[in-house]
Amino acid sequence: MIRRGARTGACRAGGAAKKGRDDPPTLHAGTRAPRCSHAYNRFLIVTLTINPAIDRILSVDRLAFEDRAYINSIRQSAGGRGLNASSVIHSFGGQTQAVLISGGASGKRLEALLQGCGYPIVVVPVKNAVRTNLTITDKQGLTVNLNEVGPALTGPEVARVERAVRQALDGADWLMLCGSTPPGVPSSFYAKMIAMARQKHVKTLLHAGGDSLREGIEARPTVATPNQPEAERLLGRTILTRTHSLEAAGQLRAMGPESVVLSLGSRGAIGAFGNGLVEALPPRVDAVCPIGAGDALTAVFAWSMSRGQNPAEALRWGVAAGTASARLPGMNFASLAQTEEIYRQVEVRRVE
């Protein structure tokens, strides 16, 4: 049973109250989303971050091999693909709820960083400390991302996450399964969540890599959103040209999902949908920090789909959000206004 926390939700989760390993997950209620002029989605998008992190972002003057760099700024934020997605969806006026684990001293810091986010979170307590990741980026857009593996989870802890997701799906429209899984979590976990969501008539978006992507994609999610390196590892081949990208998107869709969004960084994305292949081509921009742009793409794709837009339009919105976010320093996410500016410049083509 999920109990309500006394504190308000935090923007990227909730209060840092002490929890035992056998305590139930805690729901922290966020503030109401702002009213905007757009007809925003009326449906809840649930995100799962089973391997969240504290992201330490260092901005330096320049990164050069075997040379010193000087730090201009340091900041910390609550991270993980699912939390990033909820943050973006909420900032666009969408309804979202984030499910995540938290443990150790770093877990308390994570929850503190999430206070004031404005959307509800469900915290599943675990024994071991959540990870801390390091991102270093310079003024030219060169970025280094160093991630810890994450805490080892026990079988009972994994089962508690599953129960929290099952309860969160009541009334949900979408479930986003995001990011890596920590040690102790079976590679079939996301596939199991996809099957559970299907039984509850909840659409699913799989945003992961490795074995979790391999097994999850065969569970037939509504959409799978691998990036180029993840797709290359899954398919066992290099994706270099436009023809390679189109073939890869079609091949991925043939593996099980209803739709595929293959993100290609500055080259936009390929959508493989029921009515064919679609390319979304962004304008050329000066990328400052591309880390997290893929999270923005998938989040806004789900946000757009939940508003009833067709997949090609949702792909256009997603590519606009990813491109607009890459222009920002220090792994920040573009606002709706910044995304709309790029959206008008994204070209969508159907592949005949």
Encoding tokens for residue 172? 């949900």
**Is pLDDT of 41 > 50?**
no
293-306 and 311-326 helices, crossing angle to 10°: 150
Collect all residues with Cβ–Cβ distance below 8 Å to 19 and sequence separation of at least 6: 26, 102, 123, 125
- pLDDT (tens digit, 9 = 90+) per residue, 111-140? 999 998 999 999 999 999 999 999 898 887
Q: What is the mean pLDDT of residues 72-85?
A: 93
Residue 275 pLDDT grade (very low, low, confident, very high; cuts 50, 70, 90)? very high
Positive or negative, the Cα torsion across 19, 21, 24, 28?
positive
Which segment of 77-91, 253-267, 319-333 scores lowest on mean pLDDT? 319-333
321: exposed, middle or buried (C-beta count within 10 Å: 0-12, 13-18, 19+)?
buried
pLDDT the model gives residue 65: 80
pTM metric for this prediction: 0.87
**Is pLDDT of 322 > 80?**
yes
pLDDT the model gives residue 21: 42
> From CA 258, how far away is CA 223, in angstroms rounded?
6
Q: What is the mean pLDDT of residues 76-89?
A: 95
pLDDT the model gives residue 28: 52
pLDDT the model gives residue 3: 30
Which of 197, 194, 246, 199 minimizes the C-alpha distance to 215?
A: 194
First to last CA, the chain: 51
Q: Bigger pLDDT: 272 or 13?
A: 272
**Is pLDDT of 221 > 80?**
yes
**Is pLDDT of 9 > 90?**
no
**Is pLDDT of 39 > 90?**
no
Q: Domain coordinates of the chain in residue numbers?
A: 3-351
Residue 25 pLDDT grade (very low, low, confident, very high; cuts 50, 70, 90)? low
Q: What is the mean pLDDT of residues 17-46?
A: 48
Alpha helices in 173-310 (DSSP H): 189-199, 210-218, 228-235, 242-254, 293-306
Q: Whole-number mean pLDDT of the chain?
A: 88
**Is pLDDT of 40 > 80?**
no
Alpha helices in 128-223 (DSSP H): 155-168, 189-199, 210-218
pLDDT the model gives residue 331: 77
3-class DSSP state of 261: strand
Tell the residue number behind the tokens 């969004």, with chain if given: 261
pLDDT the model gives residue 145: 87
In this structure, which amino acid lies at residue 300?
V
- pLDDT (tens digit, 9 = 90+) per residue, 282-313? 999 988 878 889 999 999 999 999 999 999 99
Q: Is 334 left (phi over 0), alpha (psi -120 to 50) or beta?
A: beta
pLDDT the model gives residue 26: 56
**Is pLDDT of 352 > 90?**
no
pLDDT the model gives residue 55: 93
Q: Are 21 and 127 in contact, with CB atoms under 8 Å apart?
A: yes
Task: Give me the CATH code for the 3-351 domain, please.
Answer: 3.40.1190.20
Collect all residues with Cβ–Cβ distance below 8 Å to 315 and sequence separation of at least 6: 261, 269, 271, 278, 280, 301, 348
**Is pLDDT of 30 > 80?**
no
Encoding tokens for residue 304? 């757009």
pLDDT the model gives residue 102: 98
**Is pLDDT of 273 > 90?**
yes
**Is pLDDT of 208 > 60?**
yes
Which segment of 18-32, 60-74, 88-102, 214-228 scores lowest on mean pLDDT? 18-32
Q: What is the mean pLDDT of residues 48-58?
A: 95
pLDDT the model gives residue 23: 53
